[in-house]
Structure formats: structure tokens, C-alpha cells
Amino acid sequence: MAFDYKADFDSIDFRKNPEQYRVGRGEQGVLMVEPYKGEILPHWRFKTPEIAKESSEKIYSMYLEYKENGDFPGMDMARKFLQMGYTRARRYANYKGGKKYGKDGEVNERKIDKEKAESASIFEEKWKIVRADEDYLKLKKEHQRKYG
């Protein structure tokens, strides 16, 4: 089932109501689903490789904690933040200021920032670990079968 953007995100605690959580595609809902957004977002940073390493390790440790608690929505949200760390750092690595499009709507020239590219690869490494985790894949399939 697709991510439901019409849900009342201000009133739903997805830890207490995991049946209302929808996985969606990619990073859908990453900045909407509480209490996970509030727990993970303060640790999400990618400005330098050192900051990205600290951030990705913290988010991955949160993933493992959610996993230990059998909290699939938390696991999936941690996965989304790791994925978003990769995609955003990659965007900043490719385009100055992270701006792909100019004011005229044309694609800006790519200028690779090696530091941001390294930050992206740090997040990508953790994201790949999570998305290949057999327990994650099993719980994801089970969650989707039960709740859509």
C-alpha cells in the first residue's frame, strides 16, 4: 500500500499504533511520522565525513534498538533517515548549495564536492546494511501483509 499523506500525523503516535504505519517508497513520510522523526532527526547530519560517520552510527544504533524492541516502524524510519542521509549528501556533493535547478528551471552544472561525496558514501554503507538485514526484510513483509 502507498504511503498515506492524508493521515492525521499530528494525532497519531505510530509506536502506539503501528498498524497505521505504511512503509511507502524510499523516504516517503520521513519527516512526518512521530515519535520517530523527533527521536532520529536531531542526530541526522552530513556536513563533513566526521559528522556523517557519527550521525550514521547513531542512527544505525537506534535502528538496532528499535529492532531489539520489535519496533518495525522505528526500524523503517531509521532506514529512511540513513537513505535520506545518502541522497541529501549526494545532492550537495553534486551541486553547490544542494541546488540542482537554477532560477530558470535548468539543471545547474555539476561540481563534485569530494567531502560531501564521502559523507554520502558513509550513509550509503549503513543504509545498505539495513536494507539487506534479513530480520528487517521479514518484518517489512509481515507488516505489509498485515496492515497494507
Residue 66 lies in a domain: yes
Which residues are CB-contacts of 54 (< 8 A; sequence separation ≥ 6)?
45
Residue 1 lies in a domain: no
Say if residue 42's pLDDT is above 80.
Answer: yes
Greater model confidence, 6 or 27: 27
Residue 21's pLDDT band, with cuts at 50, 70 and 90, is very high
13: left (phi over 0), alpha (psi -120 to 50) or beta: beta
In Å, how far are 17, 44, 74 from 147, measured between CA atoms?
11, 28, 16
Residue 13 lies in a domain: no
> What pLDDT does 2 receive?
67
Residue 127 lies in a domain: yes
Residue 10 lies in a domain: no
Number of domains making up the chain = 1
Rounded Cα–Cα distance for residues 72 and 23 (Å)? 10
Residue 27 lies in a domain: yes
Residue 32 lies in a domain: yes
Residue 100 lies in a domain: no
pTM of the model: 0.92
Q: What is the residue-averaged pLDDT of the chain?
A: 94
Q: What percent of the chain lies above the pLDDT cut of 70?
A: 99
At 59-101, the pLDDT tens digits run 999 999 999 999 999 999 999 999 999 999 999 999 989 999 9
Residue range(s) defining the domain that contains residue 69: 18-95+106-147
